[in-house]
A and B are shown apart, each in its own frame.
Chain A
Amino acid sequence: MSLPIVKISNLDKYFGRLHVLKNISLEVPERQVVCLIGRSGSGKSTLLRCVNFLEDPSHGSIEVDGVHVEAEAKGKERRQLIHDVRLKTGMVFQEFNLFPHMSVLENVIEGPVTVKGMDRNHAIELAEQSLDSVGMLWKKDEYPLRLSGGQKQRIAIARALTMEPRVMLFDEPTSALDPELIGEVLNVMKKVAYEGMTMIVVTHEMGFAREVADRVIVMSEGELIEDATPDELFAQPKDQRTKALIDRYRTGER
Chain B
Amino acid sequence: MASTTQQGKAPPSQAELLYQAQLRKERLFRTHVGVSWGVLFLILIFLFSGQEIRLGSFQYQTIQLDSEFILKNLSFIAQGLGQTLLISVLSILVAMTLALLAALGRLSTFPPIYAISTFYVSLIRGTPLYLQIFFFFLALPQLGINLSGVVAGVTALGLNYGAYMSETFRAGLSSVGKGQREAAMALGMTPGQTMKRIVLPQALRFAIPPMGNDFISMTKDSALVSATGFVHELMWRAVKVGRAQFNNLEALIMAAMFYWVLTLILTYFQGKLEARLARGDR
Q: With A54-B182, A97-B180, A101-B202 in contact, do A110 and B197 touch (Cβ < 8 Å)?
A: yes
Question: A162's closest neighbor in chain B, by CB?
Answer: B187
Is A64 an interface residue, CB under 8 A from the partner? no
Q: When the two chains form their complex, are residues B193 and A115 in contact, meaning their CB atoms are under 8 A apart? A: yes
Q: Is the interface of B mostly helix, strand, loop or mixed?
A: helix
Bound CA span A93–B187, Å:
12
Question: What is the 8 Å Cβ interface bit string for chain A, positions 126-161, against chain B (1 contact, 0 not)?
Answer: 000000000000000001011000000000100110
Is B179 an interface residue, CB under 8 A from the partner? yes
Q: A86: which B residues are within 8 A, CB to CB?
A: 185-188
Bound CA span A114–B184, Å:
10
Bound CA span A143–B281, Å:
6
Quote the shortest CB–CB distance from B159 to chain A (angstroms): 31
Q: A114: which B residues are within 8 A, CB to CB?
A: 187, 189, 193, 197
Q: When the two chains form their complex, are residues A111 and B179 in contact, meaning their CB atoms are under 8 A apart? A: no
Q: When the two chains form their complex, are residues B183 and A99 in contact, meaning their CB atoms are under 8 A apart? A: yes
Question: A94's closest neighbor in chain B, by CB?
Answer: B179
Q: When the two chains form their complex, are residues A93 and B188 in contact, meaning their CB atoms are under 8 A apart? A: no
Q: When the two chains form their complex, are residues A115 and B188 in contact, meaning their CB atoms are under 8 A apart? A: yes
Interface residues on A, range: 20 to 34
Question: A84's closest neighbor in chain B, by CB?
Answer: B188
Bound CA span A101–B185, Å:
17
Bound CA span A143–B202, Å:
14
Quote the shortest CB–CB distance from B69 to chain A (angstroms): 54
Is B72 an interface residue, CB under 8 A from the partner? no
Question: What is the 8 Å Cβ interface bit string for chain A, positions 103-129, against chain B (1 contact, 0 not)?
Answer: 000000011001110000000000000
25 A–B contact pairs at CB < 8 A?
A: A52-B186, A54-B182, A54-B185, A54-B186, A83-B188, A83-B190, A86-B188, A89-B186, A91-B183, A95-B177, A95-B179, A97-B179, A99-B180, A99-B183, A101-B201, A101-B202, A101-B205, A110-B187, A110-B197, A111-B189, A115-B187, A115-B188, A115-B193, A116-B188, A159-B187
Chain B residues at the A interface, C-beta cutoff of 8 Å: 177, 179-180, 182-190, 193, 197-198, 201-202, 205, 280-282
Other A-B contacts than A83-B188, A114-B189, A146-B281, 6 sampled, CB-CB below 8 A, are: A83-B190, A93-B179, A97-B180, A101-B205, A145-B280, A160-B186
Interface pairs A-B: 8 shortest CB-CB: A97-B183, A91-B186, A111-B187, A97-B179, A115-B188, A86-B188, A87-B188, A101-B201
Chain A residues at the B interface, C-beta cutoff of 8 Å: 52, 54, 83, 86-87, 89-91, 93, 95, 97-101, 110-111, 114-116, 143, 145-146, 156, 159-160, 163
